[in-house]
A and B are shown apart, each in its own frame.
Chain A
Amino acid sequence: MTVVLEKSNIPKLTEALSRQYLVVDYEKDKTALSVKGYFLAPREKLFSFFSKTKKLSVRSSPKRKLLLFGLDLADIEALGQLDEIMTKPREDYFYLRKRRNSLIVGVVEHSITMPVATGDLILEKINPSQYRAVSLTKAGQEIVKNKFFKKEKNPEILIYPEEKSNLRELAQDSELLAEAVSWARVKNHPIWEKLEKICLGCGICAYVCPICHCFSMEDEIEIDGSASHRCRYWDACVLNNFSRVAGGKNFRPALKNRYFNWFYHKFVRAYKEYDNSQCVGCGRCQKYCPAEIDIEKVLSEIIRDYEKSLSAPTG
């Protein structure tokens, strides 16, 4: 038996779900931002200290669970990576409590060829008018109990190949990426200097990336002195003060080094620590960079030269 959902019933389903959950219908083409901000907010007060009571307090979580609807596979994969990063080696309480108070429903417009590891429910397109529902968790099973889902013996199942994306393919070869990016650093590849000249250092690439997760902390004090708040906000490798430490020393004063750090963290450190490159090839940084720096071209150039160096005679 296959659980199916009629495409035409999707709006009714999300409406029905919004009685129970805070439903966000995520439409990738309507925003530059990924869903990471729902769990790792661009700016948030983590906890507050009150002068009068001398007590710390953490904001309470909203009663209703958040339900993110409509993520594609790349975004689900990215969220899975982010979950891992925020769990290991130490749990990020503030991320996880939001994440644990949420449900993820993926809507995949092509046939799925690999098992999906993150999310609660995946809707996979099987023919022009229907999706197959695959629940991955108890919460997902609950959703599928909704009257809009039907059990069918033999629904028409067509094959919809995933649209080919060079960047997505590139991102999957994490071992090669790790080797090539390290090599490009050691060999002082001219690409870093080229990038330093054209990159605006605006940070958009990291803001829009579904996996970039570096943040900074800051204390905000109420002007009347009644309370202070520990706040965190998104940081980005390329920003001028990203590598400024207490005492004022900035150990990556050149944009070239900060830009490289973005790549190093994503492709080298991530590979060492999590066995992955922290890029799923979603294409956001490519699409929204005001300087039109194309990560696919940058990576391809590095890999091409790295491979050339391997075949070249040593000495």
Chain B
Amino acid sequence: MTNDKKLKLGLFDFTDCEGCQVELVGLKEKLLALSERVDIVNWRLGQAKAQWEQFDIALIEGTPLTPGEIDLLKIIREKSRLLVGLGTCATLGGIPAILDKEERQQWYNKIYGPEYEGRGVDALPLSAYVKIDFLIHGCPISGNEAARIFSDLINGKKLNYKDYSVCFECKLANLPCRLLEKKPCLGPIAQGACGAICLKGGSACYGCFGIKEGANVGALLTILNKFASEEEIENYFSMFHNKSKLYDHR
């Protein structure tokens, strides 16, 4: 394959912790294999080369929090054939979206004093501003799942999520069901393929891979309401889904 036939890929980040890019770097050989097959023309964190021509694929990590970032996102959209969200900040609003503008102002006052005027807007999923072609969820993304999606992408396969919830990998790991132990968990309605990593670490699932298509959120709420307070349930749903439109439980 000649160089000019390679797909041109740009990787950009807005407000976030950059943990998803760290996961990408952690792909090591697979990342090298990917860089052989695509031309990474812009990646601030990974290389000096930063071109602003057309992109076949733009990966966006994080979510815009300033008007400048929103404009930049729109510019990238115009220049890109495929726009793919990378990580839950980009795909659902994620952690930055836990805080509302008003709440953020209170923290500004506390930290920087009342004179400081924040420019930040509410953190929203990228889809609030531009058309998105695919979402690679995860806080952080799972390197292996992302590699699978990249592979499908460059090999011309239709992009798809795995048709299982977090429960599949949780059961394979032989973990006890939190819900049966009367502890909150979003596993059954959450998109799987994360490897049930949080459950393996002793935590609940907060659904950072997004709510699975067709999930029965109402059924889960019925169960949660049996043993958890409304506030606790709200905490679980607002961890990553405060601003995503994927659920409506209020």
| A residues adjacent to B (C-beta < 8 A) | 30-33, 42, 196-204, 207-208, 216, 219-225, 234-236, 239-242, 253, 255, 288, 290-292
Taking a contact as CB atoms under 8 Å apart, the answer to whether A223 and B151 are in contact is yes
Describe B's contact surface by its main secondary structure.
Answer: helix
A42 to B150, CA, bound (A): 23
Contact status of A199 and B216, CB under 8 A, knowing A33-B171, A223-B33: yes
What CA separation (Å) do A235 and B179 show in the bound complex? 22
Contact B223 A291 (CB under 8 A): yes
Q: How far is the CA of A222 from the CA of B30 in the complex (A)?
A: 9
Q: Nearest chain B CB to A203's CB is how many angstroms away?
A: 6
How many B residues, CB 8 Å from partner? 37
- In the complex the two chains form, is B151's CB within 8 Å of A32's CB? no
The distance in angstroms between the C-alpha atoms of A225 and B155, with both chains bound, is 8
Additional A-B contacts beyond A31-B174, A288-B180, A290-B223 (8; CB < 8 A): A30-B174, A200-B189, A200-B220, A201-B215, A207-B172, A241-B213, A290-B180, A290-B188
Report the minimal beta-carbon distance from A232 to chain B, rounded to whole angstroms: 13
Q: What is the distance, in angstroms, from A39's C-beta to the closest C-beta of chain B?
A: 15
Nearest B residue to A207 by beta-carbon distance? B171
Given A32-B174, A208-B171, are A221 and B151 neighbors across the interface (CB < 8 Å)? yes
Dominant secondary structure of chain A at its interface with chain B: loop
Q: How far is the CA of A223 from the CA of B157 in the complex (A)?
A: 12
Chain B residues near A207 (CB, 8 Å)? 167-168, 171-172
* CB-based contact A202/B187 at 8 Å: yes
Residues of B within 8 A of A (CB): 30, 33-34, 36-37, 147-148, 150-152, 154-155, 157, 163-165, 167-168, 171-172, 174, 177, 179-180, 187-189, 212-216, 218-220, 222-223
| 22 A-B contact pairs sorted by A residue (CB < 8 Å) | A42-B172, A197-B222, A198-B219, A199-B219, A200-B223, A201-B188, A201-B216, A202-B165, A202-B187, A202-B189, A203-B168, A207-B167, A220-B151, A221-B152, A223-B37, A240-B214, A241-B213, A288-B171, A288-B180, A290-B177, A290-B179, A292-B180
Contacts of A216 in B (CB 8 A): 163
* A201 partner, pick from B147, B154, B214, beta carbons under 8 A: B214
Indicate whether A239 sits within 8 Å of B163 (C-beta atoms), given known contacts A220-B148, A221-B157, A255-B214. yes
Chain A: minimal CB distance from B157 (Å): 7
Most buried by A among B157, B167, B180, B189: B167
**B223 & A203 in contact (Cβ 8 Å cutoff):** no
A228 CB to nearest B CB, Å: 8
For A253, the chain B residues whose CB sits under 8 A away are 214
Provide the bound-state CA to CA distance between A314 and B165, in Å. Answer: 45
In the bound complex, do residue A240 and residue B223 qualify as a contact, i.e. CB atoms below 8 Å apart? no
Q: Given A197-B219, A198-B222, A200-B188, do A240 and B213 touch, yes or no (CB 8 Å)?
A: yes
- What's the minimum C-beta distance from B94 to chain A, rounded to whole angstroms? 23
C-alpha gap A32/B170 in the complex (Å): 11
By Cβ-Cβ distance, the 10 closest A-B pairs, closest first, are A240-B214, A202-B188, A224-B33, A200-B188, A241-B163, A290-B179, A223-B151, A202-B167, A221-B155, A223-B33
